Amino acid sequence: MDKFIIEGGVRLKGSVEISGSKNAALPILAATLLSDGKSVIKNVPPLRDVYTMLRIMRYLGAKVDMEGDVVTVEPAGYSNHTAPYKLVSTMRASVCVLGPVLAKLKRARVSMPGGCVIGPRPIDLHVKGLRSIGADIKIEHGYIVADAPKLRGARVYLGGNFGSSVLATANLMTAATLAKGKTVIESAACEPEIADLARFLTKMGARIKGYDTPIIEIEGVKSLRGAEHSIIYDRIEAGTFMAAAAITGGDVLIKHANIEHLGAIVDKLQSAGIRITRTKDGLHVKKTRSLKPVDVTTLPYPGFPTDMQAQMMALMSITKGISVIIEKIYPERFMHVSELARMGAQIYLEGPRAIVQGASRLSGAPVMASDLRASAALMLAALVAKGKTDISRIYHIDRGYHIIEDKLEKLGAKIKREKEE
């Protein structure tokens, strides 16, 4: 198992290239299973979660090849409808094969993804959506077992207790492309990753309207063809590097950062005193004055993303004053708080609310990553902490950030990867 050793106190300077979006790539790769023709997906980030998805697709019977950031999928003739526990248990997003396999093979058997350290993430909206268009679904022996000899379009309200669901929207949208008649998804997720999936499905021959709004309309077709598509760039990786520039008082050009996908993040960083300038290559981020505390509430897109909550908390932990961070998507997503406290952060939890009293400085310490975005927060804190920080269990960060240590090192960070003893 690897760990990162980071020596803090270096101001990041230079430029960094953002990779393709993992959260867009996974449902798009699953959607290739709807066709018998070959699909070519470009700008796919070579990450652990992507490799897991490719293994699932091969297990189902598709021919899959990855060279660099290009994935070629030839699904013709695949017949296995079961995604097993040993693969699905390693990545919750594996559940996004449910809709495509059900629509194509008329049945699907996908292991329940279960919960995770950021709190329960139920599949009730997935089940509700697919049942609404004619699927018979049961939960048996830890598997979602779905049968649908004929899917029929319907009007479906897909809102949940904590807002819309990206993966549930993806599952229903992909299944509805081959359903008879029109499906209308109300309270659909509006994230850029859903819009990217819809654009790919449209290239395959699907008829979809309103995919960047809370109401998506899908007119079912008899079949879909293979297509070529380039994945959007990762807005959360871009946001993480924006926060890295901010926390180190840096001056960084973030290439491929799309300001249209980053509105809430840009707003909060600007409110904190960070200058952000749009360029032809991306976004230029520079700290020009003292940081100011800001309050943050996570919300479904276009609100502030839950996947940036931990990184923003790291930034506020060194900002003089008091900040309040409210988590409304995953109220238990505060595993990083205790580890940040080991570095000197002063954070107090009250249910889904974190009160952050900015510390004058952080100090390096041995810490442990608990999930993907918590790992990013610890890295940000380590970049500005006095002394060295050892971050263990960094396999979490490898799930969502491609060669992050190389990118940080090129910006001047003192970081190295070592084997844990």
As annotated, the active-site residues are 116
Phi and psi dihedrals of 257, rounded to 5?
A: -70, 125
Convert the chain into a string of H (helix), E (strand) and C (coil).
Answer: CEEEEEECCCCCEEEEECCECHHHHHHHHHHHHHCCCCEEEECCCCCHHHHHHHHHHHHHCCEEEEECCEEEEECCCCCCCEECHHHHCCCHHHHHHHHHHHHHHCEEEEECCCCECCECCCCHHHHHHHHHCCCEEEEECCEEEEECCCCECCEEECCECCECCHHHHHHHHHHHCCCECEEEEECCCCCHHHHHHHHHHHHCCCEEECCCCCEEEEECCCCCCCCEEECCECHHHHHHHHHHHHHCCCEEEEECCCHHHCHHHHHHHHHCCEEEEECCCEEEEEECCCCCCCCEEECCCCCECHHHHHHHHHHHCCCCCEEEEECCCCCCCCCHHHHHHHCCCEEEEECCEEEEECCCCCECCEEECCCHHHHHHHHHHHHHCECEEEEECCHHHHCCCCCHHHHHHHCCCEEEEEECC
Instruction: Tell me how far the alpha carbon of residue 303 is from its chain's centroid.
Output: 15
Residue reference for tokens 């520039």: 245
Residue 35: partners with Cβ closer than 8 Å, 6 or more residues away? 75, 204, 223, 224, 225, 226, 227
